[in-house]
């Protein structure tokens, strides 16, 4: 290890000696010294130019990559907006189709209700006209029998009056039921509007407290009734048990 350090020291010494000798020779020869300085100056200048060029190339490359990254971000944002617009158009299209389907369904349901109501009304009207035809047929028959002296005028008038009254009752009932009792939208439903009146709603704020107190008193009454019923049931059970025990002892 000591020999290696000694060799390193000798090497450094030899280099210093060679450097000093070269400097001494250059001092003795001004032309050679000037040439050496120019060579070193040119070398330094070229090194500086190379360093600046490499620095410029690095900065330019970083700027190019940053510009490309920014362009990629802008294009990505543009594509996202286009996708959002496409999705919005698809949603609006689907919503329009759904709304149209719902509207068609509601229209078909309402048309069915209207047809049902119209058909039911026509059936009732047909029933009234059929009743009228039957009454007229009966009246013609009774008139013919009376003209042939097969029945008396009183019997003819009584039977005719009976059928006429029935027909009038049918017409009155049908008109009243359709105009008052029957629902205006659903043929098979009845309406009860205005028949029983409306429950008056109190506007004073004290009514709510009165209702709450009434409910609380009702709840307390129910609880007390349940408790008394439980006590009565317990006493009845005990009395029954005592009677059964007495009967067992007697046996």
pTM of the model: 0.43
SS3 159: helix
SS3 94: helix
Domain ranges of the chain: 34-181
What is the rounded distance in angstroms from the CA atom of residue 246 to the CA atom of residue 251? Answer: 9
Per-residue pLDDT of the chain (251 residues; tens, 9 = 90+): 556 666 676 676 666 666 666 666 656 666 665 666 666 666 777 778 788 788 888 888 888 888 888 888 989 898 899 999 999 999 999 988 899 899 888 889 888 888 888 888 888 889 999 989 998 998 888 888 888 888 788 888 888 888 899 999 999 988 888 888 888 888 888 777 655 555 555 555 554 455 556 556 655 654 565 555 455 445 544 554 454 444 444 43
């Amino acid at each position: 290890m000591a020999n290696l350090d000694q060799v390193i020291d000798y090497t450094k010494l030899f280099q210093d000696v060679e450097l000093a000798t070269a400097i001494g020779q250059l001092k003795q020869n001004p032309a050679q010294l000037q040439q050496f300085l120019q060579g070193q100056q040119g070398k330094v200048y070229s090194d500086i130019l190379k360093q600046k060029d490499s620095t410029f190339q690095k900065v330019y490359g970083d700027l190019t990559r940053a510009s490309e990254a920014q362009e990629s971000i802008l294009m990505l944002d543009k594509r996202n907006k286009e996708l959002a617009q496409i999705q919005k158009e698809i949603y609006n299209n689907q919503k329009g189709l759904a709304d149209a389907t719902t509207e068609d369904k509601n229209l078909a349901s309402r048309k069915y209700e209207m047809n049902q109501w119209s058909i039911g009304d026509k059936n009732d009207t047909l029933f009234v006209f059929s009743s009228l035809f039957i009454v007229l047929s009966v009246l013609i028959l009774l008139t013919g029998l009376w003209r042939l002296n097969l029945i008396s005028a009183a019997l003819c008038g009584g039977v005719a009056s009976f059928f006429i009254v029935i027909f009038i009752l049918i017409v009155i009932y049908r008109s009243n039921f359709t105009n008052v009792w029957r629902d205006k939208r659903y043929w098979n439903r009845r309406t009860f509007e205005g028949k029983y009146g409306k429950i008056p709603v109190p506007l004073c704020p004290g009514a709510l407290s009165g209702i709450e107190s009434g409910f609380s008193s009702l709840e307390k009454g129910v609880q007390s009734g349940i408790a008394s019923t439980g006590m009565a049931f317990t006493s009845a059970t005990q009395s029954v048990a005592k009677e059964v025990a007495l009967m067992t002892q007697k046996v």
